[in-house]
Structure 1
Amino acid sequence: MGRPTRSVSGPAVAESEPDAGDHAQNGGMDDHPDPPSLRAPRLRPGDRVRIVAPACPPSREEANRGVELLTSWGLRAELGEHVFDQWGYLAGRDEDRAGDLNAAFRDPGVRAVIAARGGKGTYRIVDDLDTAALRRDPKPVVGFSDITHLHLALWARCRLAALHGPFAKRGDPFTGRASAEALRRALMTTDPVTLHRDPSEATADVSVPGTATGVLMGGSLEAIRTETGAGLPSLRGAILFLEHRRGTGLGEVDRALTQLTRSRALDGVRGVALGQFLGFEHDADDPTLGGWGIGDVLRDRLTALGVPVLGGLPAGHGNNPPTIPLGTRATMDTATGTLTVLSAVV
């Protein structure tokens, strides 16, 4: 791409941020010490795990598969009171979904909280979470897609390290054996997680060479965009992980990244790790789009940040997703095509 190789390392998200003048002088580098991550104890056989539905309701079959999977690891799985409620397209009223989360956060016997599914609605309840309970008694929270709202809120308010991982299901085409094993290891061991660039992913050829180190944050691009100006924590010093599933087309990605840039939410990021951007495979063949595909939009918007960009990570809304710690220190290297992240549990 003709850009010099960059190496960016240093602290991740700072509790206090430099003003615009400081930012201009240090080129977006944050000189504050790393904020501590609040990491929960790893799970052990016999621990209780609560499945909740912060967004849309699962089917009973899906929930039963989740219980079966967790039980196979020696854990004691249980369901939140309102998991099967339905209020429109949501898993019950806002107060009930938030109540299920808070009940799990406050119960000292519950050692992890796993979302039953995503969809819509988590953004409606993030202001009602009892984060003080998690500060006293941290426990890992697992999910992705709409659950990104939950991860961002918990990091912003109590620095909880979380897991961008699949919804608990067993034998589901989406969550195969390798994906389930990755979730188990992320919950029950302290091993770091390493993702490798997959040349077959749509974002694989999006790259700005270099290395970066910082706390990994992010998830669903749409969720991150929605939280801009509301509950989005500072991304200064972080490695930002982004994934997305197509809605209206290339313009939605362009709008989201432009909004994040114009709002200065991306100021000071140390690197960008791109996961799956699904559903854009044929855009380059559409004559109305001028030959552009998803890689062109991402390249156009992200290279201007002047930080390393690693595309092609096989993580997002595709089948057999990995489990990725969020809120812990990560190292990204475009030469080796790897992103390595420290465990979210201790």
Structure 2
Amino acid sequence: MSQELPRALSRGDLVALVSPASWSSEEWIETSTAVLECWGLRVRCGVHADDRLGYLAGRDEDRLADLNAAIRDPEVRAVITLRGGCGSSRLLAGVDVDALAKDPKPLVGYSDITALHRLWHMAGVPSLHGAVAGEHAEIVRDILYGGTPAPVRADPTQFGAELTTGGRAVGKLFGGNLEMLARSVGVLDFDMRGHVLLLEINKLAGLGNVDRALTQLLMSGALDGVVGVALGWLTGFEDYEDRGWTILDVLRDRLGTLDVPLLAGLPFGHDSNPRVAPLNVPCTLDADDGILTLAAALR
């Protein structure tokens, strides 16, 4: 779906804080609100943003209501998720994608929020894989205010950087958490043709789970037409081995079947301070020079 870029935010604009997955502490809600207000934005918390039901931020219907209220409100110019965890996938069938396509606005979040990034991708709307608090928060602010992200350089000293091949790929960037991408197969339409695939892999997923997720994406055809792979840090896997194989063996075996340029050692990862990656925007992956160049996500 072709879509005009969302309008860049201006001081005084309203943003919505929502909890579509697991619940956050009151302290984190206050911290996120304070950061956004320091950026000159007005903040509205979802009615159910601090609800709790087991590991979920309240009932599915209430989390969905908050998300759709933010999407449908023309005054809201960005949707900020408070945390990932678990639960975003439960909402997929009810999200008002038509309203999002008519009034595009960016989504900010990562981890479990990858499920919702898929919907933004389907609507043709850019989103930000990252968080508004943490050491990279200023990058989020700059992107939301219409800035073009600085080129991201891979670290050749990072574990896993040796997976880098050579070559250059141009296309739109899309991806996120590997497990969540795989679990959306069969739930949402998945078309990655002409895209550079961004992958961040959680250490909680052992080698077998990484293998299963990549195999599902490959065998389902979800990765047909991918033109390049941008691989984040493999934090936690450094000393992990399973019957003679490491994460590097699994990734070589599975991603190697794509036969496309791969750039590893990029500072995207599954931790509390992920580097921000705008999704569904044009990018250039240069595996020879070790640089990922990204276009602006808002106009």
| TM-score in terms of structure 1 length | 0.83
Give the conservation status (yes or no) of the 8 Å contact 2:148–2:294: no
Q: Aligned partners of 1:161 and 1:38: how far apart in 2?
A: 10
Separation of aligned partners in 1, 2:287 and 2:77: 36
Deviation of the 1:301 alpha carbon: 1.0
Aligned to 1:340: 293
Instruction: Say if 2:277 is the partner of 1:311.
Output: no
Cα distance in 1 for residues equivalent to 2:158 and 2:209 = 19
Aligned residue in 1 for 2:243? 289
> Which residue in the other structure is 2:54 paired with?
88
What amino acid is the match of 1:252? N
Asked if 2 retains the 8 angstrom alpha-carbon contact of 1:39 and 1:138, the reply is yes
CA–CA distance in structure 2, aligned partners of residues 329 and 190 of structure 1: 14
Q: Deviations over 1:137-175 (max 9, x none)?
A: 11111001100000102212x111111111x33xxxxx1
Alignment-derived partner of residue 17 in structure 1: none
2:109 is the alignment partner of 1:143: yes
Quick check: 1:216–1:330 contact (8 Å CA) kept in 2? yes
Residue 119 (structure 2) pairs with residue 162 (structure 1):
no
Letter in 2 for 1:338: I
Task: After superposition, give the CA deviation of every residue in 1:262-282 in whole Å (9 maximum; x if it has no partner).
Answer: 112111110111012332111
CA-based RMSD of the aligned residues comes to 1.4
Residue deviations 1:97-140 (CA, integer Å, cap 9, x gap)? 11001100111111111000000000000110111221221111
1:322 aligns with 2:255: no
List structure 1 runs of 4+ shifted beyond 3 angstroms. Answer: none
Choose 1 or 2 for highest CA Rg: 1
Paired position in structure 1 for 2:176: 219
For residues 158 and 188 of structure 2, what CA distance do their matches in structure 1 show?
30
* 1:99 paired to 2:65: yes
Q: Which amino acid aligns with 1:186?
A: I
Q: How far apart, CA to CA, are the structure 2 residues paired with 1:273 and 1:213?
A: 12
Could you tell me which residue of structure 1 aligns to residue 86 of structure 2? 120
The CA distance in 1 between the partners of 2:157 and 2:113, in whole Å, is 26
Amino acid aligned to 2:34: E
2:12 paired with 1:46? yes
Aligned to 1:278: 235
5+ long unaligned stretches in structure 2:
none
Equivalent residue pairs, number: 299
**Secondary structure of 1:45 counterpart:** coil
Which residue is equivalent to 1:70?
Answer: 36
Amino acid at match of 2:85: G
| Pairwise CA distance, 1:322 | 1.9
Tell me the amino acid that sits aligned with residue 127 of structure 2: A
Q: Which residues of structure 1 form unaligned runs of 5+?
A: 1-34, 170-174
Match of 1:31 in 2: none
Tell me if structure 1 keeps the 8 A contact 2:229–2:260: yes
Specify the alignment match of 2:218 in structure 1. Answer: 261
The within-5 A match list for 1:194-209 is: 194-209=151-166
Give 1:299's aligned residue: 252
Amino-acid identity (%): 46
TM-score (norm 2): 0.96
Q: Structure 2 CA distance, aligned partners of 1:93 and 1:200? A: 44
Q: What displacement does 1:289 show?
A: 2.2
Deviation string 1:303-346 (CA, Å, 9 cap, x unpaired) is 12111111110112235322211111111001111111111111
CA contact (8 A) 1:273 1:311 kept: yes
Moved more, 293-302 or 317-326: 317-326
